[in-house]
A and B are shown apart, each in its own frame.
Chain A
Amino acid sequence: AQSVTQLDSHVSVSEGTPVLLRCNYSSSYSPSLFWYVQHPNKGLQLLLKYTSAATLVKGINGFEAEFKKSETSFHLTKPSAHMSDAAEYFCVVTMNQAGTALIFGKGTTLSVSS
């Protein structure tokens, strides 16, 4: 069965410092992986996705993630945090090869201080 684990429920960084949000997955096939962001009272927005084309995936707003099959990880990084990055981040894996559903991690709340 597919599953995804976000290793930190809350991450705090200072503005201008790097961001690392950790995600491990379990999958019986080559999965599609996504990172979504949810700002307060707003919908979910796609940051980036991995679909087997390249292991290093670049997304919006300077975020990127690296797919590491040997470590079953898909960590999200950003070189320099901005105040506007404060939000909840979800690591997501497709439920099956047909992609009929998404399985969400529990989420990581990112706080950015000035």
Chain B
Amino acid sequence: KAGVTQTPRYLIKTRGQQVTLSCSPISGHRSVSWYQQTPGQGLQFLFEYFSETQRNKGNFPGRFSGRQFSNSRSEMNVSTLELGDSALYLCASRQGTAAQETQYFGPGTRLLVL
């Protein structure tokens, strides 16, 4: 099975712009989660989607949003980019929503905001 794929792998944007990142989960996985990784804050949970519904959202401003499509692919959008949004954005998928289920991570999208 192919792993979790994320596109694009690298992005450079300027302050005030918006950006959309894409994540394709492992085939058969219906849950997709997003995380932000920065040197200062580490890995932080953004949100999780299951069957096109947001199940949980982390402590991020409303500029961060996401959605999931019927084929389980997910996108996250960041509007009005700030310098502090520069980070590695990781997507993870799992088959269902049981707490003990393993989340499989993609390689990430590295976003640089200038």
**Chain A residues in contact with chain B, CB under 8 A?**
32, 34, 36, 42-46, 49, 51-52, 90, 94-107
Chain B hits for A45, CB < 8 A: 105
Known contacts A32-B99, A49-B100; is-contact A43 B105 (Cβ 8 Å): yes
Secondary structure call for the A interface:
loop
**Residue from the list A42, A51, A101 in contact with B33, Cβ < 8 A:** A101
B48 and A107 within 8 A (CB): no
Does B8 make an interface contact (CB < 8 A)? no
Q: With A43-B108, A44-B90, A44-B105 given, is the CB distance from A94 to B99 under 8 Å?
A: yes
Residues on A with C-beta less than 8 A from B56 are 95, 98, 100-101
- Chain A nearest Cβ from B42, distance in angstroms: 5
When the two chains form their complex, are residues A32 and B100 in contact, meaning their CB atoms are under 8 A apart? yes
Interface size, chain B (Cβ < 8 Å): 26
What is the CA–CA distance of A62 and B18 in the complex, to the nearest angstrom? 44
Establish whether residues A106 and B33, one from each chain, have CB atoms under 8 Å apart when the complex forms.
no
What is the chain B residue whose CB lies nearest that of A49? Answer: B102
Residue of A nearest to B99 (CB): A99
Interface residues of B in 14-66 (CB under 8 A from A): 33, 35, 42-45, 48, 55-56, 58
Q: Which of B89-105 contact A (CB under 8 A)?
A: 90, 92, 97-105
Q: Is the CB of A101 within 8 A of B45?
A: yes
Residue of B nearest to A94 (CB): B99
What separation, in Å, do the CA atoms of A99 and B48 have in the docked complex? 10
Q: Which of B4, B102, B106 has most A Cβ within 10 Å?
A: B102
Pair B97/A102 contact, Cβ less than 8 Å = no
Contact indicator A46/B102 (Cβ below 8 Å):
yes
B54 to chain A, nearest CB (A): 10
A-B residue pairs, 7 tightest by C-beta: A99-B99, A51-B100, A100-B56, A104-B43, A44-B105, A101-B45, A43-B107
| Cβ of B10 to closest chain A Cβ, rounded Å | 11
Q: What residues of A have a CB within 8 angstroms of the CB of B105 in the complex?
A: 36, 43-45
**Cβ-closest chain B residue relative to A53:** B100
A43 to B4, CA, bound (A): 10
Partner of A90, one of B43, B44, B45, B108: B43
